[in-house]
């Protein structure tokens, strides 16, 4: 049977489409399994980099990635907390809070020491307006460093426009407002769940 | 059909430019061009996918029956982009952090399906390769141009953060053009439409003059 004849057969089209889809799925399955390890490794490296950025230098001596716990903070979504230890004792805890910005969710990674003082904060992910709201990124402005050293009680947790301590940006108030309230919320979570977050309620669970 | 390389390149860059003449792929052309660097990044990523998709389709064009060609092309392109996305994420992770945002967007770029359908499905592997390269180059030039104009008017810089995309040796591209801060509108979506409109008008004008002469 000539190829042209075969091509005209009614079964040719579904078989061709099926075969192509099968090939495509096989390729995807191969690519996914071939890259899964490397992607997980790269993401762990990224996370480790950000964890290092929110903590002061030489502050911890443990591998934070290997020392995490999922903590129930009462809203149904467990909070993953990374414990920063020095010589075995917990010195602080690092976790992510989500703020509702102008363009969507803003993920802020923050480190809090055992006394509820902020050690550092970084925006991990956001979809704010480029050139306007993106000054919350450390690459664009050092605004985010303004949180370092603040505690829940010793700061006025609002942007200056609302009578608080934190600068807003020209033309963008919603974005910094969202970050400020997210970090404040993080400190409140810390205050409520201090013992669990620091892992003080049970000895060395990792 | 045996178009010479010269015609193919001229077609891709000017006569049949994806953005300025065919007016497809306008979604990425408007959405990501907030800076010259972003335009360049999106252009390069799209070019790579376009070339591979063109070659793949040209290879299998004889066994594809016309009735199911569109679903077959869509499956091919979507899988290709996903594989590229995963491979980049795994092995060129630094580049992926800069380009990653663009790659997923390429799936919905109808410029790819357009080229595959209009050219690669009717031509051999080599012309399809050249066409992909030329069309991709034209797309890259268009996006970079739109990005540069918006960036210049909107934030007063040129190629900001180019070194993050191309490596530290390209830091010389980053220029602080003026200190006026710029008109924010140009960075926001309306700026994309305005710049695109003026560029389209400009190209039409040039083409009309050329034809009249």
pLDDT tens readout for residues B99-146: 777 788 888 888 999 999 999 999 999 999 999 999 999 999 999 999
Instruction: Give me the pLDDT at residue A107, please.
Output: 92
Q: Which domain, by its residues, includes B204?
A: 5-212
From B65, B97, B188, residue closest to A12, measured CB to CB: B65
Q: Is B86 an interface residue toward A (CB < 8 Å)?
A: yes
End-to-end alpha carbon distance in chain A:
68
Say what the pLDDT of residue A201 is: 57
What residues of B are in contact with residue A131 (Cβ under 8 Å)? 34, 154-155, 184, 187
Looking at this predicted complex, what is its ipTM? 0.77
Mean of all residue pLDDT scores within chain B: 88
Q: Which residues in chain B are closer than 8 Å to A20, comparing Cβ atoms?
A: 72, 75-76
Q: What is the pLDDT of residues A126-181, one digit of tens each?
A: 888 766 788 898 888 899 999 999 999 888 999 999 989 999 887 788 999 999 99
Residue B18: C-alpha distances to residues B29, B81, B129, B198 (Å) = 10, 19, 16, 16
**CA B45 to CA B43: how far, in whole Å?**
6
- Contacts of residues B96-100 at CB distance under 8 Å and 24 or more positions apart, as own/partner, are B97/A46, B98/B41, B98/B164, B98/B165, B99/B41, B99/B44, B99/B45, B99/B165
Residue A127 has what pLDDT?
82
Q: Which pTM value belongs to this model?
A: 0.79
Looking at CA atoms only, how far is residue B187 from chain A in angstroms? 7
Is B206 touching A (CB cutoff 8 A)?
A: no
- Ranges under pLDDT 50 in chain A: 203-206
Query: What residue ranges of chain B have pLDDT lower than 50?
Result: 1
> What pLDDT was estimated at residue A205?
46
pLDDT at A202: 53
Number of folded domains that form chain B: 1
Coil, strand or helix: which one is B85?
Answer: helix
**Two tokens, residue A89:** 């004792």
pLDDT at A43: 86
Query: What local confidence, expressed as pLDDT, does residue A200 receive?
Result: 66
Query: Domain map of chain A by residue range?
Result: 3-50, 57-198
- Cα–Cα distance between A31 and B89 in angstroms, integer? 11
Point out the residue among A38, A129, A130 whose CB comes nearest to the CB of B90: A38
Q: How far is CA B121 from CA A148, B98, B131, in A?
A: 59, 32, 12
Q: What local confidence, expressed as pLDDT, does residue A166 receive?
A: 92
CB-CB under 8 Å, A12 with B76: no
Q: Across the interface, do B68 and A34 touch by the CB < 8 Å criterion?
A: no
């Amino acid at each position: 049977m000539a190829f042209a004849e075969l091509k005209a057969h009614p079964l040719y089209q579904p078989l061709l489409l099926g075969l192509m889809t099968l090939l495509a799925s096989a390729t995807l399955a191969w690519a996914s399994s071939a890259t899964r390890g490397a992607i997980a490794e790269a993401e762990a490296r990224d996370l480790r980099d950000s964890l290092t950025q929110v903590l002061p230098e030489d502050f911890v001596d443990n591998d934070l990635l290997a020392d995490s716990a999922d903590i129930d903070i009462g809203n149904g979504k467990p909070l993953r907390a990374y414990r920063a230890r020095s010589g075995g004792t917990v010195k602080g805890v690092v976790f992510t809070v989500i703020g509702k910005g102008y363009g969507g969710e803003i993920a802020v990674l923050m480190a809090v020491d055992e006394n509820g003082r902020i050690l550092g904060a970084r925006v991990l992910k956001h979809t704010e307006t480029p050139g306007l709201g993106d000054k919350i990124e450390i690459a664009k402005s050092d605004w985010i460093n303004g949180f370092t050293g603040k505690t829940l009680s010793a700061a006025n947790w609002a942007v200056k426009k609302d009578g608080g301590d934190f600068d807003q940006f020209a033309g963008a108030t919603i974005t910094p407002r969202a970050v400020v309230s997210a970090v404040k919320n993080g400190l409140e979570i810390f205050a409520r769940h201090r013992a669990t977050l620091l892992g003080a309620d049970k000895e060395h669970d990792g | 059909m045996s178009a010479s390389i010269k015609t193919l390149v001229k077609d891709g860059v000017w006569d049949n430019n994806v953005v300025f003449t065919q007016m497809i792929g306008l979604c990425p052309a408007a959405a990501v061009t907030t800076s010259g660097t972003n335009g360049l990044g999106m252009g390069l990523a799209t070019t790579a996918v376009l070339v591979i998709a063109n070659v793949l389709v040209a290879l299998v064009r004889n066994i594809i029956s016309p009735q199911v060609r569109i679903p077959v092309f869509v499956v091919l392109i979507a899988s290709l982009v996903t594989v590229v996305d995963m491979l980049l994420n795994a092995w060129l992770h630094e580049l992926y952090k800069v380009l990653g945002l663009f790659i997923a967007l390429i799936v919905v770029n109808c410029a790819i399906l357009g080229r595959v359908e209009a050219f690669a499905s009717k031509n051999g592997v080599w012309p399809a390769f050249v066409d992909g390269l030329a069309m991709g180059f034209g797309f890259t030039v268009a996006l970079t141009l739109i990005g540069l104009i918006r960036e210049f008017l909107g934030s007063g810089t040129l190629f900001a953060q180019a070194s993050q995309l191309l490596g530290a040796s390209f830091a010389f591209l980053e220029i602080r053009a003026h200190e006026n801060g710029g008109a924010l509108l140009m960075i926001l979506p309306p700026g994309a439409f305005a710049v695109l409109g003026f560029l389209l008008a400009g190209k039409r004008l040039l083409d009309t003059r050329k034809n009249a002469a």
